[in-house]
Chain A
């Protein structure tokens, strides 16, 4: 296993001076040269839109691509909670160092100090930039910005716009991007999907894209290529990702030599609406904030759970002593507010033991009855009501809960048809975010020169577990404030390279390979739909490489995925033609890539003989069932190189902690 291939290029010097010194010494590109340097940006979510707009403002020629019909629809738009920044507006002792520390600890000591500190440093500028763009963040009556707290922190540093923070931030970046498009500095290609990266002399020099309306393949040259294409959570079929979210761009880069890091680190969010049946196409997240007031429980008696599942027992009729508030029981200090990974595993443990409460046996209760009663009593006291009856208390309490969580309760009712004011909600964990991604150095460059990865598509900042409200921060940090500097280090050496004509052999060859693959897919003419394979793949990965993993299961999953991949390539049915608007063909290409990624995820999970963050190996736990990290042997980033089709070699980047003392995470 080689280590020398992986140079993280972290600048020398004290942690709080690395970025400042780097910025002052990184080579610049003069304005005249910028005009002749072309940059391709794939994906227009927070990372892509902010990068494309910022680079165009600087004078580079930018070409941007997204598969959606508009850049505004990228899945960043669905982020609810907020964005962290070390502004310390609340005067509660926040600082760059504290944000840095919380992020490293939250990531279970598996992320890189240098990158995370830079993220914390630029966090403040993001808020400034967004406010200047007209992003309507929540404000106090005095007119200043409002903050709230989020999991894993002791300060209030989260900026938000109701439950639609991602939407508002993306619309800000999108408007900056549209401005540059209008000025002619960015050429935008919507409904285009990147099908491959083109490399010449080992450097990324362009992409092959497919026009999704006409089906035509196009060649695009760039002095460098930025992949801002999000995470790979849809490998599970059911996740909170959008239907179109995919790994294809990152995977094509991986096949062209970019190492893929920590694929086994996936974040499972504990509070999602459970699966209702086989027709389920995606899962909907209910904001983490619900755990502030809700109590999570299952019946104490397995017979009661069975009756509830069969619809013969109403949960409201189960008495207090017959309920198991398992988070409060297991984690008295943090109770219902333990971090995401811990809460998710505890729910799975109860359901696996037979205490699940919906038809499928995979749901637990999130109960607001106690909160409604508590708020009701407080309101009654405020209104000087003596001895109010239960109906009055409930009415008063409901009003408070409606004020705080009304939109979430409405959403729950809309989706499930159940009124959560009267009956406890049912929740279950679901795949939400992927910490793993393309390996990048401090410049955000992959192991392919000139090829960069930004946002969720890279692996760099969240270690083995991401804290809430940090994904938006990282996407915008990478796009607005990191890549505009770091790309100069590369492009300043490339100013003599003239635009390479796209009739170059490398473009011709890459396009031919893409065309061959599409034709192959459509000519299989098998008997099963793309979704059929995707659902089976999702179940394999969820069962064996989801919330808990073990050696035997992972080995079985690898064999199962390989077999499924073979079946896919001999029996998938893709209707229609290549040269037309063909959504099944789009899906087929993406699922084919997931079928390779799934295997690598299991391999990575099998290799990592420890439990950390989102990766829980059943063999490595304490007697109480808590995760057991092994810093001695596994304090490294795994970086997989694809040596040939579905064959990988593992490289390791050692993680060094010079500023933070490593400790165990305990929430007891």
Chain B
């Protein structure tokens, strides 16, 4: 099939970007969206032009690298998939597809479709861990954890840190990302001793990075490729409030 792409091109963080239009004449419906970009880049290289820079790595939906804003939606038109798992059979012959990078003050564009998400790492450094040094651990089965709790913690831990929640949010809030980590650890007994400190520290770092506030529109969860639930945000709010009251 034939596809027309309007792709955001930007040389570096400081320069101004603009859309460029490209036409692809032989797109197979079996291609993934990123494989279509491989074809585009091969075409650009053969024409002596610079290929489009975009983040990608595992191409099986788990590393969280890929990050394209496709026709106004992070990771494109299908629910619960990353861009790398989106296939061209989701599009029609003759389609015009607009592709942009994540847009958020805390995710500056590095080049073309690649953005800097190191703010997520810094939020993790602020409190997204259990303080246990190697070798300190007791036997793994000495602390039973109910299956329902363990499963719930796992659902929160499934976040791949791609940043689609931020890109989807009109305020560019990182609440879904932060709340998923806070929830995972506060649900588990291992995370309890630091629960209050963690909530405060991670929220403070999130604010310091320039992410916006949460206004409960739910776009983050709707666009999340791993379907991280909004209830995580409710839990973060409870943790944060109780920590604030406790004067942490």
Contact = CB atoms under 8 A, between A and B. Distances in A.
Interface of A: 50, 53-54, 57, 68-73, 75, 77-78, 87, 89, 125, 127-145, 161-162, 164, 167-168, 171, 174-176, 178-179, 181-182, 188, 190, 213, 240, 242-244, 276-277, 279-282, 284-285, 411, 414-417, 480-481, 484, 529, 531, 573, 575-576, 580-581, 583-584
B79 to A, nearest CB: 12
A89 B141 contact: yes
A20 to B, nearest CB: 15
30 contacts: A53-B134, A69-B55, A70-B64, A70-B121, A72-B64, A72-B161, A73-B57, A129-B137, A132-B136, A133-B130, A134-B184, A136-B184, A138-B154, A143-B144, A143-B147, A145-B140, A162-B154, A164-B158, A171-B157, A176-B129, A176-B134, A181-B125, A182-B125, A182-B126, A242-B59, A281-B38, A284-B60, A580-B11, A581-B53, A581-B110
Given A213-B110, A580-B12, A414 B81 contact: yes
A176 B50 CA distance: 39
Interface string B107-136: 000110010111011001110111111111
B51 A583 contact: yes
A434 B11 CA distance: 37
Contact of B121 (A71, A135, A244, A583): A71
A349 B145 CA distance: 48
Contacts of B42: 529, 531
B144 A179 contact: no
B132 A575 contact: no
Given A179-B129, A583-B53, A136 B35 contact: no
A70 B55 CA distance: 11
Nearest to B132: A132
B87 interface: yes
A285 B58 CA distance: 12
The list of the 7 closest CB pairs from A to B, nearest first, reads A143-B144, A182-B125, A132-B137, A175-B129, A128-B137, A136-B154, A54-B134
Given A242-B57, A581-B111, A417 B30 contact: yes
A125 B136 CA distance: 10
Given A136-B157, A182-B125, A529-B46, A143 B139 contact: no
A277 B62 CA distance: 23
Nearest to B131: A179
Nearest to B30: A276
A213 B118 CA distance: 13
Classify the interface of chain B: helix, strand, loop or mixed: loop
Contacts of A276: 28, 30
A281 B184 CA distance: 34
A143 B118 CA distance: 36
Contacts of B126: 182
B30 A277 contact: yes
Nearest to B29: A417
Interface in B167-213: 184-185, 188, 190-191
A282 B56 CA distance: 12
A131 B48 CA distance: 52
B39 A131 contact: no
B229 to A, nearest CB: 15
B59, B81, B146: residue with the most chain A Cβ atoms closer than 10 Å: B59
